[in-house]
């Protein structure tokens, strides 16, 4: 709550970086931060690290806050090892609202109960300014990449793509991503990690 109050008192901030990793055992949602962000119309860069927030399960307020900010160009969210996190659908509209996004780094590594990432794909669809995209879904329970692949196929301007699917044991089909790659003529850097995806057959 105190973080939210501080942010609310400074609505003209252009760059916000928050790191609450390892000190957030009692945090179950991000409502204080989310509500504060709605008034930050000049915000251009936002970074939030909340790795190992083991009780965090609700990111809806954060999604609403970022949706209200709407002018973010660089976004970095790290939810690594937030093992109670299941639903990230609220982040889709947040991504969609920030049409000026140039760099997006999202990490859900070891969010073992997370299986539906379609909202991320829908949110990134048609991002006209996006140049750099890093997504880490390592050790997640995802099974369907179709929405993400559909979004990637519309990113002809993308220059940097890093996608980690490390140890996604339930994932058996990555063809949606494969089909999207030829549609990225501007791509200069590509990193795909699919180690220990035991269900993949080809």
Could you tell me if residue 202 is inside a domain? no
The per-residue pLDDT for range 142-159, each reduced to its tens digit, is 999 999 999 999 999 999
Residue span of the structural domain in which 23 resides: 2-193
The residues near 97 (Cβ < 8 Å, ≥ 6 apart) are 66, 67, 68, 70
Could you tell me if residue 163 is inside a domain? yes
pLDDT at site 22 = 79
pLDDT at site 1 = 54
Could you tell me if residue 113 is inside a domain? yes
Q: What is the DSSP secondary structure assignment for residue 152, as one 8-state letter?
A: H
> How many CB atoms lie under 10 A from the CB of residue 180?
20
Could you tell me if residue 201 is inside a domain? no
CB distance 144 to 119 below 8 Å: no
Count how many domains the chain has. 1
The per-residue pLDDT for range 122-147, each reduced to its tens digit, is 999 989 999 999 999 999 999 999 99
The per-residue pLDDT for range 65-98, each reduced to its tens digit, is 999 999 999 999 999 999 999 999 999 999 999 9
CB distance 44 to 15 below 8 Å: yes
Which CATH number goes with the domain that contains 95?
3.80.10.10
Residue 11 has pLDDT above 60, yes or no: yes
Q: Would the pTM of this model clear 0.75, i.e. be above it? A: yes
Could you tell me if residue 198 is inside a domain? no
Could you tell me if residue 82 is inside a domain? yes
What is the spatial distance between Cα 105 and Cα 200, in angstroms, rounded to a whole number? 25
Average pLDDT over residues 147-175: 97
Could you tell me if residue 14 is inside a domain? yes
Could you tell me if residue 86 is inside a domain? yes
């Amino acid at each position: 709550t105190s973080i939210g109050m501080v942010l609310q008192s400074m609505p003209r901030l252009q760059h916000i970086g928050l790191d609450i990793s390892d000190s957030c055992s009692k945090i179950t949602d991000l409502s204080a931060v989310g509500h504060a962000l709605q008034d930050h119309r000049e915000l251009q860069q936002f970074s939030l690290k909340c790795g190992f927030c083991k009780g965090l399960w609700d990111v809806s307020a954060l999604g609403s806050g970022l949706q209200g900010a709407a002018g973010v160009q660089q976004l970095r969210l790290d939810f690594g090892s937030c093992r109670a996190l299941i639903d990230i659908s609220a982040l889709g509209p947040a991504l969609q609202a920030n049409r000026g996004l140039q760099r997006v780094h999202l990490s859900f590594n070891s969010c073992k109960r997370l299986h539906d990432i379609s909202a991320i794909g829908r949110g990134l669809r048609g991002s006209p300014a996006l140049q750099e995209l890093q997504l880490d879904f390592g050790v997640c329970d995802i099974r369907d990449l179709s929405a993400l692949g559909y979004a990637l196929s519309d990113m002809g301007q993308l220059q940097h793509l890093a996608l980690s699917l490390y140890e996604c044991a339930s994932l058996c089909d990555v063809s949606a991503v494969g089909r999207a790659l030829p549609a990225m003529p501007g791509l200069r850097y590509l990193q795909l990690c699919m180690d220990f995806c035991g269900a993949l057959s080809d």
